[in-house]
C-alpha cells in the first residue's frame, strides 16, 4: 500500500495531470476564433488587452464589480491558494528559509521559519474559511444551487478535506510534520531514487487527496484556471476603427 501511494500513484498523478491539461488545451486550440467578438470598449492594442486580462486575473474585477459576496469568498480563496502553492514550492527549495534567502541581512533563519509558519497557517485558515463560505453560498443561494451538479460540491469537499487536514497538521503540534522529511521524500521522487514515505498518517491522507485532485483536475471544471486565459483571449482583443469622413462630400473633415 505505501509502495503504491508513495512510489507509484505520484507518478500516475503527475503524468495524468500534465498530459491531461495539455490534451485539454490542445483541444481548445483546434477550433478557430472565427469572428472578432471582442467586448467593448475595445482595447486599443494587444498590450492594453493583456494588461486588462491580467487585471481581471489579479483582482477578479468582474466579481468585485457585479457580485461582491461571491468576490469575497472567491478572491480570498484563490489568493490563499496561489500563495500557498508558491509557499509549497518555496518550502521545498529552502525548507522554510525563503525569507532569509530573500533578505539575508534583515531576516535571520529563525525569523524566516517563524514567518513561514505564521503566513502558512494564516493562509491555510483563510483558504478553509473561504471554501466553507463558498460551499455555504452554493447551498444557500437558490440560483447557484439550481445550476450546480454533484461534481460542483465534490470539488469543494475535496478541497475542504485537503485544507482541513493541512490545518490540523499546522495547528496541533502533535500532528506536525516538519519540512525536512517531506523534502527528502519528494527529492527521492524527482530523482527516481525512492525514499520511503514519511510515516505519518495525516500526511498520508492529505498527500493522497492531493494526488486525487491532480488526477481529476484535467477532467473537471478546475480547468477554468487555464480556460480563463483562453476565453479572455477571445473576448478581450484589440479592434481598430476605420477612418471617419465622407468621401466626395462638400464638407470635409480635413481640408
Partner 1 sequence: MSANELRQPKRASAALFKKLGMDLVPDNEKVAAAIGHIDDFRLKVRSFVMAMETCVKCGACAEACHTYLGTRDPNNIPAGRVDLIRKVYKRYFTVQGQLFPGLVGAQDLDLETIEKWYSYFYQCSECRRCAHVCPFGIDTAEVTFIARQILYWLGIAPQLHTATADAILRTGNHMGLTKAGIIDTLEFLSEEIEEEYDGLKVDFPVDKPDSDILYVPSSADFMLNPRTLFGAGQFFKYVGANWTISSEITEAGNFGYLSDQTRIQREMVTRLLAEAKKYGCKKIVWGECGHGWRAAKMYVPTLADLVAVKQIPITHIHDEVEAYIKAGLLELDPKRNDSKITLHDPCNYARACGHADNMRTIMNAVVPKGAFVEMTPNREANFCCGGGSGILFDDPGMYQFRIEASNKKAEQVRETGAEILCAPCSICKAQLYPMVKEHKLPVEVFGLIDLVGHALVFRE
All cell numbers assigned to 98: 525563503
Among 42, 133, 175, 179, binds partner 1 (CB under 8 A): 42
| Smallest separation, CB 228 to ligand HEM (Å) | 4
**Which CB, 137 or 176, lies closer to ligand HEM?**
137
- # residues near partner 1 by CB under 8 A: 60
Among 13, 49, 74, 80, binds partner 1 (CB under 8 A): 74
4 burial type by CB count under 10 A (0-12 exposed, 13-18 middle, 19+ buried) = exposed
| Smallest separation, CB 8 to partner 1 (Å) | 22
Could you tell me which of 109, 120, 113 has the C-alpha nearest to residue 171? 120
Does residue number 65 form part of the binding site for ligand HEM (CB under 6 A)?
A: no
User: Rg for the chain (alpha carbons), in Å?
Assistant: 24
**Which CB, 16 or 205, lies closer to partner 1?**
16
CA distance 43 to 252: 28
Among 14, 222, 223, 234, binds ligand HEM (CB under 6 A): 222
Does residue number 219 form part of the binding site for ligand HEM (CB under 6 A)?
A: no
Among 27, 140, 193, 201, binds partner 1 (CB under 8 A): 27
| Smallest separation, CB 231 to ligand HEM (Å) | 10
Does residue number 143 form part of the binding site for partner 1 (CB under 8 A)?
A: yes
CA distance 248 to 11: 71
Does residue number 57 form part of the binding site for ligand HEM (CB under 6 A)?
A: yes
**Which CB, 191 or 254, lies closer to partner 1?**
254
163 burial type by CB count under 10 A (0-12 exposed, 13-18 middle, 19+ buried) = buried
Angle, helix 150-171 to helix 109-140, in steps of 10 degrees = 150
Residue 191 binding partner per list ligand HEM, partner 1, none, with a CB distance cut-off of 5 to 8 Å that depends on partner kind:
none
CA distance 44 to 212: 43
CA distance 72 to 237: 28
**Are 106 and 113 in contact, with CB atoms under 8 Å apart?**
no
Q: How far apart are the first and last CA of the chain?
A: 84
| Smallest separation, CB 47 to partner 1 (Å) | 18
> Which residues in the 141-200 window bind ligand HEM by CB under 6 A?
152, 155-156, 159
**Are 84 and 126 in contact, with CB atoms under 8 Å apart?**
no
Does residue number 84 form part of the binding site for ligand HEM (CB under 6 A)?
A: no
Q: Which residues bind ligand HEM (CB under 6 A)?
A: 57, 60, 74, 78, 81, 134, 138, 152, 155-156, 159, 222, 224-225, 228
Amino acid at each position: 500500500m505505501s509502495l503504491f501511494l508513495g512510489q507509484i500513484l505520484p507518478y500516475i498523478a503527475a503524468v495524468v495531470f500534465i498530459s491531461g491539461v495539455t490534451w485539454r488545451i490542445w483541444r481548445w486550440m483546434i477550433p478557430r476564433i472565427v469572428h472578432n467578438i471582442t467586448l467593448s470598449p475595445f482595447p486599443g492594442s494587444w498590450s492594453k488587452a493583456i494588461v486588462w486580462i491580467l487585471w481581471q486575473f489579479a483582482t477578479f474585477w468582474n466579481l468585485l464589480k457585479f457580485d461582491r459576496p461571491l468576490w469575497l469568498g472567491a478572491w480570498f480563496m484563490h489568493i490563499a491558494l496561489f500563495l500557498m502553492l508558491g509557499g509549497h514550492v518555496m518550502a521545498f527549495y529552502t525548507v522554510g528559509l525563503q525569507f532569509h534567502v530573500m533578505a539575508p541581512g534583515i531576516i535571520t533563519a529563525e525569523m524566516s521559519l517563524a514567518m513561514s509558519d505564521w503566513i502558512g497557517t494564516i493562509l491555510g485558515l483563510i483558504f478553509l474559511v473561504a471554501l466553507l463560505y463558498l460551499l455555504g453560498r452554493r447551498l444557500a443561494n437558490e440560483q447557484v444551487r439550481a445550476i450546480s451538479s454533484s461534481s460542483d460540491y465534490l470539488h469543494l469537499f475535496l478541497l475542504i478535506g485537503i485544507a482541513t487536514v493541512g490545518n490540523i497538521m499546522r495547528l496541533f503540534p502533535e500532528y506536525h510534520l516538519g519540512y525536512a522529511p517531506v523534502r527528502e521524500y519528494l527529492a527521492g521522487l524527482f530523482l527516481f531514487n525512492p525514499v520511503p514515505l514519511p510515516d505519518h498518517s495525516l500526511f498520508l491522507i492529505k498527500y493522497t487527496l492531493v494526488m486525487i485532485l491532480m488526477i481529476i483536475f484535467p477532467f473537471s471544471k478546475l480547468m477554468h484556471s487555464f480556460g480563463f486565459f483562453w476565453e479572455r483571449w477571445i473576448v478581450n482583443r484589440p479592434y481598430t476603427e476605420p477612418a471617419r469622413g465622407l468621401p466626395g462630400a462638400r464638407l470635409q473633415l480635413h481640408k
